[in-house]
Amino acid sequence: MSEKLKFAVIGGGSWATAIAKMLCVNLSEIAWYMRNESAIEHLQKYKHNPNYLSSVEFDTNKLKLTSNINEAIEYADYIIFAIPSAFLDAELKNMTVSLSDKIIFSAIKGIVPETSLIVGEHFHIQYDIPYYNIGVITGPCHAEEVALERLSYLTIACGDPDKAKTVAKSLSGNYIKAKISDDIIGTEYAAMLKNIYSIAAGIAHGLGYGDNFQSVLMSNAIREMKKFIRKVHKMKRNINDSAYLGDLLVTGYSVFSRNRMFGNMIGKGYTVKSAMMEMSMVAEGYYATKSAYKLNQGYGAKTPIIDAVYSVLYEGKDAKTVFRKLTESLD
């Protein structure tokens, strides 16, 4: 790995912590922007993030920690954004330096609410960054299993394969395998959509549906995802690849899935507000549901699962009634 290339991680959550952990295996120094100054102080003193994946211990000599996003951006050639999509626009408004000469990779699995764009499109349209300088980091991979050093897989997508290979090499290790893809838009939409389907899986579980129904739900979800992505960006892709189907399955079934947990609470009768208050982390799928539903008004893909989740979360419809009707449209 060339030490000439400098990396920065933007975000203080679990994914940012996992990515910082992966990068520190291969690089002698990385910049890490965290908005929470007390978390930075704690990390410097105790060598772990106090709020997320606290079992991960860092060599703080490798970390250039800062609460100033401009310092992190100025430092790096490659910038990896790993903050919830709902907060991305606000964070970017704190920038006073240019991104024009930077290579941007997104580990964000959602849509930017202010523009209704996936993150790559947001950077391209709002900041005039060419697509060959934009990439996506997707799974199937949970940050919690990276912390436990369990074998995990990443998909690195970019219009420029050399940049994808550079990031893949930077993140790879004994328990991390990374492959590259040229489907930057498709993989990013898949990463967003699987969170919605994970909420659906959680709602079903909360309502008392069993594994038999969950298998039908997931098999319908991957076909629905294929229809949606084909409408957005038509190209040759195998929807059964790990970046699509694999990421969907791990998010829909894993006990680490925030979106499944959120959906489970809704299925058990929590209101959206009460479920959000009880969770300490953001469920990206909540915001993605509204954006995907609105986008599909123009695309016209058949999306009964997205429609069902939207009606429960945003129209206040009874989850039990909605899912009883949904069972009739699945096969």
User: Which residue in 228, 277, 266, 274 sits closest to 248, CA to CA?
Assistant: 228
Phi/psi for 204 (5° steps) reads -60, -45
87 is in an annotated binding site: yes
256 is in an annotated binding site: no
Amino acid at 329: S
For 39-112, list the strands marked E by DSSP.
Answer: 63-66, 78-81, 103-106, 111-112
Amino acid at 268: K
268 noted as active-site residue = no
258 is in an annotated binding site: yes
Characterize 278-315 residue by residue with b for buried, 16 or more Cβ atoms within 10 angstroms of its Cβ, and e for exposed: eeeebbbbbbbbbbbbebbeeeebebebbbbbbbbbee
Q: Which residues contact 261 (CB under 8 A, 6 or more apart)?
A: 202, 279, 283
Q: Is 57 exposed, middle or buried (0-12, 13-18, 19+ CB in 10 A)?
A: exposed
Name the catalytic one among 194, 231, 234, 236: 194
Centroid of chain to Cα 242 = 15
DSSP-H helix ranges across 233-303: 247-253, 258-267, 272-278, 284-299
Binding residues for substrate: 109, 258-259
Binding residues for NAD(+): 87, 143, 258
User: Which residues does the annotation mark as catalytic?
Assistant: 194
